[in-house]
Amino acid sequence: MSGDLAADIKRFALHELGFSLAGIAGADPLAGGARLAEWLERGHHGTMAFLADTAAVRCDPGRFLPGARSVVCVAMSYHEAADPPGPAGATERAAVARYARRPDYHRVIRTRLVRLGRFLAAREPGAAWRPAVDTAPLLEKELAQRAGLGWIGKNTCLVNRALGSELLLGELVTDVALPPDRPETDHCGTCSACLTACPSRAFDAARLLDARRCLAYATIEHRGDFTAALLPSLGNRLFGCDACQSACPWNRRARPSCAPPLAPHAHLAALARSRLEGIDQEGWAALAAGTPLRRLDYPRLVRNLEAITRGAGHRGGA
């Protein structure tokens, strides 16, 4: 019965809910907990104190949902044709990371996970379940690898052989015992293109990212000023950075596979800096509404625009 239920859950996730990938992992504690603890001890999380505060829960789905036995892992692709090549600061465009140019994936994925949970409960009355997107305290990439969706690449992104790494993840943690899928193995080989492409040299080693030197962290999560060391690599990046993913051969080979609910907003792919000059708080709220750009509050928007201007004389990464 459990095998039939697992197949039905994955079928529903893929064909009815529109997820690009679906798999099942066991809910036992994650080996990445030790690596997370070491990473936090190094201070690589910067000012993201919430990562340290929730570390114990992140590495144990049983703390996220008491009695958890299985995790249904899903992914939704936003992979499209590559952006035109060129230096990040070479145009008047304010660069927005590709995942943020579209409807807010938290809402898109969570809504569908709730439907998946209700589907499970209809088949298994009394089942407990809890949905999670990346704001939830779970090591979602390790769970996704355990469920066979892909492997954690050298740039710390989940990579799938067919779809690449432009994937947004979600989980449904449940107390129903479901047969797990086979974990995916590493297929990065000797390639280090993503590490070399990082414009701010944020990787101390493969799969070891120092967020304090990462332009995605600097432009989105960090609330202080930019360091002088980061300005030359900023280019025109307003929100996030795609350099390490753009360099990945698996993304260059992957066919465009953007899930329809995540269709991009054209105006965010070609956002003119002139449109943002003098924009007020209300105007920014309207522009960012319903997209991941809402994460960037107005003071940090102003900070990022000023930093782009200050760094305009420096050549940024691709």
Is 159 in contact with 249 (CB distance < 8 Å)? Answer: no
Identify which of 227, 219, 182, 192 has the alpha carbon closest to the alpha carbon of residue 26. Answer: 182
Q: C-alpha angle 75/76/78, rounded to 5°? A: 135
Integer Cα distance of 91 and 299 in angstroms: 24
Is 8 in the active site?
A: no
Which residue is catalytic, options 8, 134, 186, 297?
134
Indicate the SS3 state at residue 172: strand
Q: C-alpha angle 206/209/212, rounded to 5°? A: 155
- For the chain, the 3-state helix, strand and coil shares in percent, each to the nearest 5, are 40, 15, 45
Integer Cα distance of 10 and 7 in angstroms: 5
Q: C-alpha angle 228/225/95, rounded to 5°? A: 85
Active site residues: 134
